[in-house]
Amino acid sequence: MAVVLEARGLNKNFGAVTAAADINVAVERDSVVGLIGSNGAGKTTFINMVTGYLKPSSGSIAFGSRDITPLAPRQITRLGICRSFQIPQLFNTLSVYENLLVGVGIVASGGAKWADASRHAGTPSETVDSILERFNLTGYRYKPAGVLPEGVRKLLDIAMAMAVKPKILLLDEPTSGVSADEKFGLMDMVMEAVRAQQVTVLFVEHDMDIVNRYTHRVLAFYEGRIIADGEPGVVLDDAEVRKYVTGEARAAGGGKHAAH
Amino acid sequence: MKRDFTIRTLVGVLIALLLAGPLLPRWAMFLITVSLCYGTVVLGMMLLMRTGVVSFGHGLYYCLGAYASGTLDVLFGVSDIAVMLLAAVAVTGVVSALLGLLLRKYRDIFFAMLSLAFSMILYGLLLKTSALGSSDGFNVAAKTLFGIRIAGTEFERYLIFAVTVLIAFVAAVCMHKYLASHMGRLAGAIRDNELRVEYMGASVRNTIHVNYVMSAVLAGLGGALAAVSVGHIDPEMSYWTTSGEFVFVAILAGTGNVLAPFLGAFIFETIRSFAYEYSPNTWQMALGTTMLLVIMFLPGGLWSLFTRMRRAT
């Protein structure tokens, strides 16, 4: 399969703290990759480097054949790498409909700067309607984003990332702050949307059941390094991962769920 | 979704004003003309406020527009209204495009104070320029409209009134269309969350820059129209209290609709005229009380009265 995103020798230091150390990853097209690790392990730093928010101290990131290391977040978004946020970043005084319309409008008015293949079919308002439906948000259409319950905010945040037609979608803890019985429903909806638009997904997640069920591949981070990389069943059973990331008890459960 | 009657209302007001113009007493015509000039400036303020930045120095462009049109006569002997307005648009467009390069990097109080500083620089410069009348300013007389002589004719007042009405109308319609466009919609998004706008692929700074230039050109147009209709300009137009008035009216009016700035400006001018007439020494108190009441009971500005009424029906 074709490699769509490749990080080579990424390092990032904040003073004496190493947030990323010699990260080498090649992500294949249409794969779903989970990023796991305890707090401060470097998962979000990795996402921030891929989206251009942080510049690596050394190393490079390529999107397809293009080096995106020096680009700003906006330029990287326009190339097709979009992210959602751990704490939803919405336009609180605008309605749910308008929140999505902003994104669809940016794509629609972007002209040649967006790859033609990534333009939406139909009018902006139709596109928003289809996104609302896909993410089951139609009932909230006229509600200002600021008054939505947390689970819905989370969903809208992801829907907004999808509204700008990404080729790679980065989700920062998509299920944090979402109640336990809503988590799988949310992930099912997101994964269905992702498959329909053939988007490659990388997501940071602490819930190993989610990781196990939805990923093809897992990267385990510890102190800025990737200590394990492979299929979820294998990574979650890895001795170092059990020690540093999941803890013994969780890892024992991880093997059981590998059948999903 | 609620239906939008804005364009229809604007057309209705346009026709009503143009028809009623010849019947209006002189003071009423003048009051409406001045309100429309002010409203055009506040229309630009509204756009900036919707984008989440407040300029405390829009007097700069109000004054610059007025002086650009006024000095045409002084320097080149040109006193055609159309040319004067074009000059105001050109000068304010260029100056705001340049200053915008700096201002687009700042927000909140820094944006407000920096814009105020620029306006006070112009004020200081004009104060020292004796060729343009220093603190007294000078008289502006528009003699022709598209080359046709209007000065001294019986239609002079009405034509100036009609031009003001038409320009305010076109500005309001364009602004209404712009706010509903993809680019215009970014204003509210930027006010709410700049980070997210960037992560959705749009440039916050470019959008603020464009909106700043648009609002400056509107202020310039308002200033030029004021110069033509009042017939006198002075550096006071760039003084910070003038800029403060624009902010005042924008808050009084609310930013919900393009009609609001004109309504707000009309109410502001009316209160000011009558308060000045009846209590020359304490007229500011009437304005202050109005502001206090609006902030306490209508934090969304006067326009929120209409949105409340529509929600109730």
Q: What is the pLDDT of residue B120?
A: 94
Residue B30, C-beta contacts closer than 8 angstroms, at least 6 positions apart:
B229
Separation CA A45–CA A221 (nearest Å): 11
B196 and A89 within 8 Å at the Cβ level: the answer is yes
**Residue B195: other Cβ atoms inside 10 A:** 12
Domain residue spans in chain B? 6-252
Contact criterion met (CB < 8 Å) for B185 and A51: no
Residues A92 and A67 in one domain: no
Percent of chain A with pLDDT strictly greater than 70: 90
Q: Of A73-82, A120-129, B201-210, which gets the smallest average pLDDT?
A: A120-129
Instruction: Name the residue facing B193 among A91, A124, A142 (closest C-beta).
Output: A91
Same domain, A197 and A85: yes
Same structural domain, A101 and A182:
yes
* Residue whose C-alpha is closest to residue A104's, from A92, A118, A94: A118
Spatial distance between the Cα atoms of B20 and B165, rounded to a whole number of angstroms: 12
Q: Chain A residues within 8 A (CB-CB) of chain B?
A: 51, 72-74, 77-78, 82-83, 85, 89-94, 98, 101-103, 105-110, 114, 124, 142, 160-161, 163-164
Cβ of A74 within 8 Å of Cβ of B193? The answer is no
Contacts of A15 (CB under 8 A, 6+ apart): none
Q: From A173, A203, A233, give the residue that closes a domain.
A: A203
pLDDT at site B313: 62
- Of all residues in chain B, the one with the smallest CA distance to A77 is B201
Provide the pLDDT confidence category of residue A204 given band limits of 50, 70 and 90.
very high
Q: Are A171 and A84 in contact (CB under 8 A)?
A: yes
A19 lies in the same domain as A109: no
Judge: B196–A160 Cβ closer than 8 Å, yes or no: yes
Residues A257, A163 share a domain? no
Question: If pLDDT is split at 50, 70 and 90, which confidence band does A111 have?
Answer: low
Considering the domain architecture, whether residues A57 and A150 belong to the same structural domain is answered as no
CB contact under 8 A, B199 and A163: no
Q: Which of B49, B51, B199, B255 to mutate to test the interface with A (most CBs of A within 10 A)?
A: B199
CB B303 within 8 A of CB B257: yes
Q: According to DSSP H, which parts of B129-203 are helical?
A: 156-179, 182-192, 194-199
pLDDT over 70 at A12, yes or no: yes
Per-residue pLDDT of chain B (313 residues), as tens digits, is 467 888 999 999 998 898 888 888 988 999 999 999 999 999 999 999 999 999 999 999 999 999 999 998 888 888 889 999 999 999 999 999 999 999 999 999 999 999 999 999 999 999 898 888 888 888 888 888 888 888 777 788 889 999 999 999 999 999 999 999 989 999 999 999 999 999 998 999 999 999 999 999 999 999 999 999 998 999 999 999 999 999 999 998 988 899 999 999 999 999 888 888 888 888 888 888 888 888 888 888 888 888 777 776 6
Give the pLDDT score at B274.
85
Mean pLDDT score of chain A: 85
C-alpha span between A87 and A163 (Å, rounded):
18
Alpha carbon A110 to its chain's center: 23
For chain B, give me the number of helices (H) and strands (E)? 13, 4
Q: What is the pLDDT of residue A255?
A: 44
Tokens for A65? 């054949």
User: What pLDDT was estimated at residue A251?
Assistant: 45
Do A143 and A118 share a structural domain? yes
Residues A124 and A67 in one domain: no
Helix (H, G, I), strand (E, B) or coil at A119: coil
Q: A101–B201: do the CB atoms touch at under 8 Å?
A: no
By the 10 Å C-beta count (0-12 exposed, 13-18 middle, 19+ buried), B237 is classed as buried
**8 Å CB contact of A106 and B186:** yes
Tell me what pLDDT residue A1 has.
64
Residues A195 and A86 reside in one and the same domain:
yes
Angle at CA of residue A31, ends A28 and A32, nearest 5°: 135
Give the pLDDT score at B26: 87
Closest Cβ–Cβ partner in A51, A101, A142 for B185: A101
Q: How far apart are CA A175 and CA A164, in angstroms?
A: 21
Instruction: Residue A10: name the closest of A200, A198, A217, A219 by CA.
Output: A219
Q: For the domain that residue A48 is a member of, what is the CATH number?
A: 3.40.50.300
User: Residue A114: CB partners within 8 Å, gap ≥ 6?
Assistant: A78, A107, A165, B201
Say what the pLDDT of residue B262 is: 94
- Is ipTM beyond 0.95? no
Q: Do residues A170 and A186 share a domain?
A: yes
User: Which of A91, A94, A162 is most worth mutating to test chain B (most B CB atoms within 10 A of its CB)?
Assistant: A91
Is the model's pLDDT at A243 over the cut of 80?
Answer: no
Backbone angles phi, psi at A229, to 5 degrees: -150, 115
Q: Is the pLDDT confidence value at A116 over 60?
A: no
Q: Which residues of A touch B51 (CB under 8 A)?
A: none
| C-alpha to C-alpha distance for B42 and B36, rounded to whole angstroms | 10
At residue A121 the predicted structure's pLDDT band, cuts being 50, 70 and 90, is low
End-to-end CA distance of chain A: 23
Q: Which helix (H) or strand (E) holds B305?
A: helix B303-312
pTM of the entire predicted model: 0.89
Which residues touch B307 (CB under 8 Å, ≥6 apart)? Answer: B256, B300
- The number of domains in chain A is 2
Answer whether B196 sits within 8 Å of A108, measured CB to CB. no
Q: What is the pLDDT of residue B177?
A: 94
Domain containing residue A25: 1-74+207-260
pLDDT tops 50 at residue A11: yes
Parallel, antiparallel or unpaired: strands A32-36 and A217-222: parallel
Q: Which residues contact B137 (CB under 8 A, 6 or more apart)?
A: B126, B232, B233, B234, B235, B236
Same-domain pairing of A166 and A213: no
